[in-house]
Amino acid sequence: MALLKCEKCGKDISDTMTVCPHCGYERKKEQKRVETAYKGSIIDEIIRPVVPALGVMLIAFVLELINKYHISRISSDAAMAYIYVQEWFPPITRGVVLLVVFALCGVASYFIMQKTGEKKAVRWGIAAVGIIVYLLIMVTLTNRDVYSVVGGREVLVNYARAMVKWIGITCGLGYGIVEAFAYMCTFGKNVTSSIIFPIVVLVLYLVIEILKILLAVYVFGWGTGGVYQPVVLPVVIIVSSIPYIIQNLKK
């Protein structure tokens, strides 16, 4: 037993007493901050974001094949520009950059969690930084002159320059957002949840993108769906968040 001073009258009282016997002051119970212990490993932190990134890369390949199929049926400068751009800035490039950025986010999570403990808010913060970094890299990579790519035809240069920058912005946001939600879904309440829900996020994104392309081709007559990405992005955010919300409802 130890003695301490009453906060009101200043007299000595036992640390086991909740009420001061001298003045009747009721001591406040000490609120201990409870932190969830962090038990992760650096390998686990790298694998969690890398697996969804591989899924996003696979989706990018599928979408490129679909787009190329429709583009091959269109005889226009815009269609030719799209083909050049896809060859110059292929899905593998976008996917590798995404994989590296979020793998580094996983490494950062490991070292930060060592100090803060397991905190979902911290993970979301790191994922948000990953989205921003990926977007900036995509914009930087696509902010180049594409004159040599398109053989010097000025009309193609204009189309391709605008298109490649557009791809950088839309991929930076779309891929980054989907990656972040899929990554966060890997922290489910059990192994099954941690596997199924990230897959659901990726599948829903693929469905949205395919519908966007079909809408662009058969309703508006344009060969690619990238021009409608600003409208689609809010849908991507909402739909990608649904599996995450459902996964965490009963936690």
Hey, where are the domains in the chain?
1-32, 42-248
For the range 183-187, what are the long-range contacts, defined as Cβ-Cβ under 8 Å and sequence gap of 24 or more? 183/48, 183/49, 183/52, 183/102, 183/127, 184/120, 184/123, 184/124, 184/127, 184/244, 185/243, 185/244, 185/247, 186/48, 186/51, 186/52, 187/48, 187/120, 187/123
Say how far apart CA 125 and CA 120 lie, in whole Å: 9
For the range 108-114, what are the long-range contacts, defined as Cβ-Cβ under 8 Å and sequence gap of 24 or more? 109/40, 109/45, 110/40, 110/41, 110/42, 110/45, 113/38, 113/40, 113/45, 114/38
Residue 167 has pLDDT above 60, yes or no: yes
Say how far apart CA 111 and CA 89 lie, in whole Å: 33
Inter-residue contact 199 to 52 (CB < 8 Å): no
Sign of CA dihedral 83, 88, 89, 90: positive
For 217-227, how does the pLDDT look when each residue is reduced to its tens digit (9 = 90+)? 776 665 555 55
Say how far apart CA 85 and CA 145 lie, in whole Å: 11
Say how far apart CA 4 and CA 121 lie, in whole Å: 37
How many H helices and E strands in the chain?
7, 2
pTM exceeds 0.75, yes or no: no
Instruction: Give the CB-side neighbour count of residue 83, counting CA atoms within 13 A.
Output: 14
What's residue 34's pLDDT? 44
Say how far apart CA 238 and CA 123 lie, in whole Å: 19
Q: Which of 37-51, 61-75, 186-200 has the lowest mean pLDDT?
A: 61-75
Average pLDDT of the segment spanning 223-245: 77
What's residue 182's pLDDT? 94
DSSP state at residue 222: -
Average pLDDT of the segment spanning 197-223: 81
For 119-150, how does the pLDDT look when each residue is reduced to its tens digit (9 = 90+)? 889 999 999 999 999 988 888 877 665 554 45
Q: Which one, of 55, 80, 63, lies nearest residue 160 by Cα?
A: 80
What's residue 31's pLDDT? 43
